[in-house]
Structure 1
């Protein structure tokens, strides 16, 4: 069912339309779902981490995942190397094999490696699947079809890549000039480099474009004027204590610099705002490592993995490297990706979905994958081998017409191939090297010098009112090679869709039209703070904390001075077995509440920290702190992080919030057994982040620990009723 933030559906666009399934075996509409429930991989595989997704030239969606024990529940005790799924509708998935059999690993792989984090692209007549090796290095496999057979192309980036965080979590993008870029990096730096002309090696300098604690999983798309770098931070794979979140920065160049919604550079040595997806306390933890798919209506979908909190881990399994492994279950998830005020966010900020949601649009109102016949298209093209083809200038038109706000797309191949919508035609002019639009409106834009007209490309015409946008890409992965924006005459009403050749041989496939999606333009409202609860608060305006406080391990260095609680950091800590730091505590109110503090902190050495806790025992708490953490791979370099950590029963895991300047405001909201964090740099504008489950009992606490030499000044601790 639609969520409360989903806008109303688009007006009907039919006018004498042919049936949506006018072609037998139409893969785009054979099993379209009205609704879905996460995880969408349920019933197909047990787990599917780090998903990469593409809409194949066969009209189906294909997904590729990290090496994992996908059939453990069926009695298999080992792993599948880069398993593959396929779906007609992004909802119903079927196992389709593995990229590499366990018995046929490429000979060049180092011993003891497990392939991770595939990325899938299509250009120059080939599907290009890159993957990283757990011991370092990035490999490439190619195929003429989305399900192989795959040809090993060897290593395209060595372990010593020039990026301080090593070589995993790679992703490709094709820029508008036809050049290729490779992004990679993990724990705690993401890098980029321009590649050579065939995308088989880097050919430019390595540029660091992101720094963050456990930053990894970079995935870049080009939308409008910006390149958007999606990435994940926090812990990916710690079972119920996984703090993974998806965040984003944007830039005007594929090389950066990338910045967050509040203007923080992704290379700054602090944690970042720009949350796209974070745990909400509804049973999914660690949502992250995303790809993006676009449905037939033009709606984008975040494709990612998440961990079921109540069933988070496998029993010990035999890894593809022969080792005994303890792994988290990370099934395949999808959720609507909204673009609000120029920034992407899942479900308008509601987080990963739990119940029934409106499914992607995967059925054309008019159109076909041409798997069985010409599907009612008549004219100069012939049907052959699952596509429309011609050897000379020709046009074939659908039986049905479309009007209103609509998205028309088709895969084309040829030196003058294109598609039409009513009296508008968009085609590839190889002689002029341009994407040309003519008919009711006229325009064109240059195509790259290396554009391959004999390789499949997707042309998309998007009409919203009188605005028409025409784009071309190799694989529908938000990396358009060329885009034309035009204004339609008010008299334009639409019409039939068609396959077009302006001259010479051309092929057209997967041609159809669907009502254009209606964008969600308003975020879910942030939590509201209610009335101050003085009995659970302290302004520190006396010479000592007020009567509500008590200690676990008293700290004699704490004073109240100048309207602040002054806490020098202790050498002790509150982390798993190291429970020797003092915790200043007071009772929490019985109902939902928000506890807030303003803290000035001058920590510069790892792991100094200061902040709030919801504390039950030394082994059961949630902590929100300004923490100083080392930047992995770079000596004597530290990050100022907003750390949001849960510990319970000998396990713990961090998530990370917004920027952590020297003076910052912290909030913890507790409602219905869930604690959610927020930070601010001015006490007025708040960045809300992830949530951890934390049932009562607990008390509110203040800590300053992790190493001596720093001082925290808490201006107040205020507790409010939650609005």
Structure 2
């Protein structure tokens, strides 16, 4: 659309401004799924339907304590991402090709070519009952169904070559800008994979390739930003009750098939996989912060939708049964090109997602300029819509705010026409049925296979004299096209069209302010020499729990890694301990431990420990887990007459790693908070999550080296440095 045409259209009289959605002035508090009257809603996947409502799909579980009846992919609905209602389940029975007792886990919901696609894990198929898992897919005309299974797996069970099957879990679909669709899946046994899909997205259409290491990642979710594909993946124990360390890490790639690397340039695939933290347990109410999807509010702000576990109520009913994993919502910011939930999972009231200042679903009659009609209830999926007929241009003005983020759904019943948004200041963004996205004088071609007769969403952001526009199928962060241009000239804001076009779900709000500052991290201050040791000779203050054969030599403590472990009832491995100082502190060691670059090893490890007893400790170690080498931060604690045990990621492994534990006492509660971090050069640190100890004696601090004597390996600790904590987490 030319500037002259915009000036011509600006003479049209303004229509009444539609009211925005009401929003609770007090904000919201996690878990947001509690508003639906449900106690658990694990592995949430969200989409904004063409009726304007948000829909969340969860994994198969009972939804409430005492219910004891599983829901096959339960569905919640919300107008604002905060207040939810349980509206039913996607399935009444498992698909015919699934074993009758199979669970349907970890759904992913998408929209493509005029229908909704629901991908899901089938935990057991009839092909090999009791052994296998696969990915299924179903289609529906609306998010509430009815859902029709495709009749078989889109990704079939995959033998592992050892008499069992790889874990074919956790599907996630994404579009690229060539119009190709990709499906991610996998878990700890077998790793994460991606495979191209057929045009109808119901079958695979090429070989699968690995994108992230097994024993490290599951729960993939991918979005595209600024020319990158970001692979969000969960790591750690998903379901260990009060010791659940589930966390979300991320890597990025220029291509959907990888290679994905983290902020340090470390690949997510390989024996020493990387991963930049997005959200981890932060020491407050919430544990097990993982398995995410992403939503975008009316201001263009990203929000992480994920599940977590309450430390005070970790199980749905009896201890060590179903883990209670409600759905949480927190703001997702991008710091130096990397996504992060600043401050971690929120506890207490928070500012809610932005509500639109202008919001129109076209579900009521209105007086319109010539060529425009509102058709209430015309579409079974979207409800009411706005239609423009005729060859001439038309504008429906709306007072969109300056510096706006605006969105509208659009489709073209015929092969010709154009439609889009005019922003304040005259910035015109246009989608043409012939296959073009244009902002001002800049344009990009849409993928050859795009379907103009199905709904797409045009999203536009105005900022600092520029306008950026994206065209997506469902506002899920995988645009099929993007264009940026300079904003210019006067003009009346609103929606415009030529030819025959249908529009729906117009919304606009001031664009969200981007936050770029990272969270503070623990910083060591003055060294506490009386609590430290450089291992240049005997020093008082140390004591052994089950003394091994370890001696300081040449300024290092050499400790042959021995059989035994602390995990499980009673422990059994050796621990070298000393009393910790009062107040906040950071303890650091430099560890040399050659676990080899390849090959299977079973939990050989060494590192730091915060210790109350064999069944009550937090351990930060460089560890071999199968074929991977990781820095892992685990917790064991007594709970309900047993020992709960789980871990979280805490950095990338190397032959030489620096490890830190940062301790502080929580004011008012007496809880002991201990955060883990690691480095591969002693300068750049990756800080992981926080484990807590209940009020009582402070844990002692020390060193461990255990997990197996074969093949022989010796841990070498260069020093044990304790410093005052200068900056809190």
Q: Same fold (TM over 0.5)?
A: yes
Tell me the residue number matched to 2:78.
87
Q: Give the whole-Å Cα distance in 2 for the aligned partners of 1:426 and 1:381.
A: 19
Question: 1:573-618 CA distances to partner (integer Å, 9 max, x unpaired)?
Answer: 2111362221111101121111110110123432211011111111
Matched, 1:627 2:618: no
Matched, 1:519 2:500: no
TM-score calculated relative to the size of structure 1: 0.89
Residue aligned with 1:42, SS: helix
Q: RMSD value over aligned CA atoms?
A: 2.0
Matched, 1:274 2:276: yes
Matched, 1:472 2:474: no
Matched, 1:646 2:646: no
1:179-258, aligned counterparts within 5 Å?
A: 179-188=180-189, 189-258=191-260
Matched, 1:39 2:41: no
Change (3 A) 1:83 1:421: same
Residue aligned with 2:652, SS: coil
Q: Give the whole-Å Cα distance in 1 for the aligned partners of 2:14 and 2:373.
A: 22
Tell me the residue number matched to 1:326.
321
Q: Give the whole-Å Cα distance in 1 for the aligned partners of 2:222 and 2:398.
A: 37
Tell me the residue number matched to 1:717.
720
Shift of 1:449: 1.1
- Residue 377 of structure 1 contacts residue 396 of structure 1 at CA under 8 Å; is this kept in 2? no
Shift of 1:394: 5.3
- Residue 181 of structure 2 contacts residue 196 of structure 2 at CA under 8 Å; is this kept in 1? yes
Q: Give the whole-Å Cα distance in 2 for the aligned partners of 1:20 and 1:700.
A: 63
Matched, 1:127 2:123: no
Tell me the residue number matched to 2:7.
none
Q: Give the whole-Å Cα distance in 2 for the aligned partners of 1:33 and 1:178.
A: 41
Matched, 1:165 2:166: yes
Q: Give the whole-Å Cα distance in 2 for the aligned partners of 1:565 and 1:133.
A: 50
Shift of 1:397: 4.3
- Residue 158 of structure 2 contacts residue 166 of structure 2 at CA under 8 Å; is this kept in 1? no
Shift of 1:417: 3.7
Matched, 1:143 2:140: yes
- Residue segments in structure 2 that go unaligned for 5+ positions in a row: 1-12, 125-132, 377-383, 666-671
- Residue 122 of structure 2 contacts residue 134 of structure 2 at CA under 8 Å; is this kept in 1? yes
Residue of structure 2 aligned with 1:402, choices 394, 400, 403: 400
Shift of 1:685: 1.3
Tell me the residue number matched to 2:52.
59
Residue aligned with 2:242, SS: helix
Tell me the residue number matched to 2:291.
289
Question: 1:645-684 CA distances to partner (integer Å, 9 max, x unpaired)?
Answer: 1111111111111111010100001112111000011111
Q: Give the whole-Å Cα distance in 1 for the aligned partners of 2:154 and 2:318.
A: 32
Shift of 1:212: 4.5
Matched, 1:495 2:492: yes
Q: Give the whole-Å Cα distance in 2 for the aligned partners of 1:17 and 1:606.
A: 70
Shift of 1:161: 4.0
Count of residue pairs the alignment pairs up: 670
Tell me the residue number matched to 2:527.
532
Question: 1:79-121 CA distances to partner (integer Å, 9 max, x unpaired)?
Answer: 11100000000000011110012xx432222232000001011
Question: 1:188-224 CA distances to partner (integer Å, 9 max, x unpaired)?
Answer: 4100011112111111111001004341001111111
Residue of structure 2 aligned with 1:614, choices 604, 607, 610: 610
Q: Give the whole-Å Cα distance in 1 for the aligned partners of 2:592 and 2:16.
A: 65
1:404-553, aligned counterparts within 5 Å?
A: 404-414=402-412, 415-422=416-423, 423-431=426-434, 433-437=435-439, 441-489=440-488, 492=489, 495-498=492-495, 500-503=496-499, 505-542=500-537, 544=538, 546-553=539-546
TM-score calculated relative to the size of structure 2: 0.89
Q: Give the whole-Å Cα distance in 2 for the aligned partners of 1:272 and 1:527.
A: 21
Matched, 1:371 2:363: yes
Q: Give the whole-Å Cα distance in 2 for the aligned partners of 1:428 and 1:684.
A: 49
Q: Give the whole-Å Cα distance in 1 for the aligned partners of 2:344 and 2:14.
A: 37
- Residue segments in structure 1 that go unaligned for 5+ positions in a row: 1-15, 23-27, 318-324, 631-637
Q: Give the whole-Å Cα distance in 1 for the aligned partners of 2:628 and 2:304.
A: 28
Shift of 1:36: 1.1
Q: Give the whole-Å Cα distance in 1 for the aligned partners of 2:501 and 2:404.
A: 25
Change (3 A) 1:62 1:494: farther
Shift of 1:377: 5.5
Q: Give the whole-Å Cα distance in 2 for the aligned partners of 1:19 and 1:287.
A: 44
Tell me the residue number matched to 1:384.
375
Shift of 1:31: 4.7
Instruction: Select between 560-569 and 209-218 the one with higher mean Cα deviation.
Output: 209-218
Question: 1:272-311 CA distances to partner (integer Å, 9 max, x unpaired)?
Answer: 2400000100010000000000011100001000001111
